Amino acid sequence: MKEIVSVQNCSYQYEDGTEALKNISFSVRKGEKVVFLGGNGSGKSTLFLCMNGILRPTRGEILLDGKPIAYNRKGLLQHRSKVGIVFQEPDNQLFSASVYQEISFGILNMGVVKEQAHVAVKEIMEELEIMPFQKKPVHCLSGGQKKQVAIADVLIMSPSVILLDEPTSALDPRHTKLVRRFIDRMVEKGITVFVSTHDMDYAYEWADKVIIFKNGERMALGKPKELFVQKELIESCNLVQPTVVKLFQSLCQHGILTREKEIPTTMKELEQYLIGEKEKHSE
């Protein structure tokens, strides 16, 4: 698999002097599922804004498919159609009065003809389960519905990369599940998906690659199983270990399970381990 996104020695300083990113580097291959972690103010959103081209790194470079972002009108328009961003706060994303106008805006702007846009909007509204509230004005939608529309805004552009900034942070369990299903579908379509989140359980189950930030610095990069067993690292970055990892380590410490076993990925797997132990003892 070849690298689709490459961030090289990127720093970003806001006008008030805040150094939000400090010499960040990493690469991601096509189709990799990437999670950004880190406490509030660690630089996750700033990096997403740089990756989408909204902010230009003060130092360093961002490459898409091996080519640096071109910071001119045409280059940025093109870049943003390939790298879509879903903001944490949908009100920062949605500008049109109606759901239909909102979703069609991007492709009409790219020069797609009306009839073709109509077909595409209908298709995306069905896929993202927007049809039941498509007639409502955008400002009357619930937070979850706004999130669905914000995702449609991005997906309709057929991007190769999607950045989702804390996509489920304000959602109820039903919408959280719905958004996660949409994310899985993006991955199935071959889109490279970046998610920033505070949900360690989700990061643990979902991600191929995890990048941890603290105070604008990259503190760690690796597979969730490699990083999340390191209690001190995780806690020093203002995070907590995933529930299943914490419980597994505690059960090992108490001699109920042994560390020879592969660390479980899900609660279901851990449950199976315990049932297995019980059966072994009752033989």
How far apart are alpha carbons 245 and 234 in whole angstroms? 12
How far apart are alpha carbons 108 and 87 in whole angstroms? 21
Residue 45 as a binder of ligand ADP (CB under 6 A): the answer is yes
Residue 14 as a binder of ligand ADP (CB under 6 A): the answer is yes
Choosing from 42, 93, 160, 241, the residue that interacts with ligand ADP (CB under 6 A) is 42
Residue 41: CB minimum distance to ligand ADP, A: 4
Burial of 129 (0-12, 13-18, 19+ CB in 10 A): middle
Residue 126: CB minimum distance to ligand ADP, A: 32
Residue 57 as a binder of ligand ADP (CB under 6 A): the answer is no
**Which pairing describes strands 209-214 and 217-222: parallel, antiparallel, or unpaired?**
antiparallel
Choosing from 8, 23, 41, 247, the residue that interacts with ligand ADP (CB under 6 A) is 41
86 or 245, CB closer to Mg ion? Answer: 86
Which residues lie below 8 Å from residue 258, measured CB to CB, with a gap of 6+? Answer: 252
Choosing from 1, 40, 135, 190, the residue that interacts with ligand ADP (CB under 6 A) is 40
Residue 151: CB minimum distance to Mg ion, A: 17
Residue 215: CB minimum distance to ligand ADP, A: 8
Which one of Mg ion, ligand ADP, none is in contact with 95 (Cβ closer than 5 to 8 A by kind)?
A: none
Residue 20 as a binder of ligand ADP (CB under 6 A): the answer is yes
Residue 197 as a binder of ligand ADP (CB under 6 A): the answer is no
36 or 182, CB closer to Mg ion? Answer: 36
Residue 145 as a binder of Mg ion (CB under 5 A): the answer is no
Q: Which of residues 35-54 bind Mg ion (CB under 5 A)?
A: 44-45
Residue 43: CB minimum distance to ligand ADP, A: 5
How far apart are alpha carbons 74 and 223 in whole angstroms? 36
Stretch that binds ligand ADP, among 41-49, 70-78, 147-155, 242-250 (CB under 6 A): 41-49
Residue 203: CB minimum distance to Mg ion, A: 15
Taking alpha carbons only, the member of 44, 38, 11, 8 closest to residue 26 is 8
Question: Are the beta carbons of 76 and 70 closer than 8 angstroms?
Answer: yes
Which one of ligand ADP, Mg ion, none is in contact with 5 (Cβ closer than 5 to 8 A by kind)?
A: none
Residue 92 as a binder of ligand ADP (CB under 6 A): the answer is no
Stretch that binds ligand ADP, among 36-44, 119-127, 153-161, 201-209 (CB under 6 A): 36-44
Interacting residues toward ligand ADP by CB under 6 A: 14, 16, 18, 20, 38, 40-46
Interacting residues toward Mg ion by CB under 5 A: 44-45
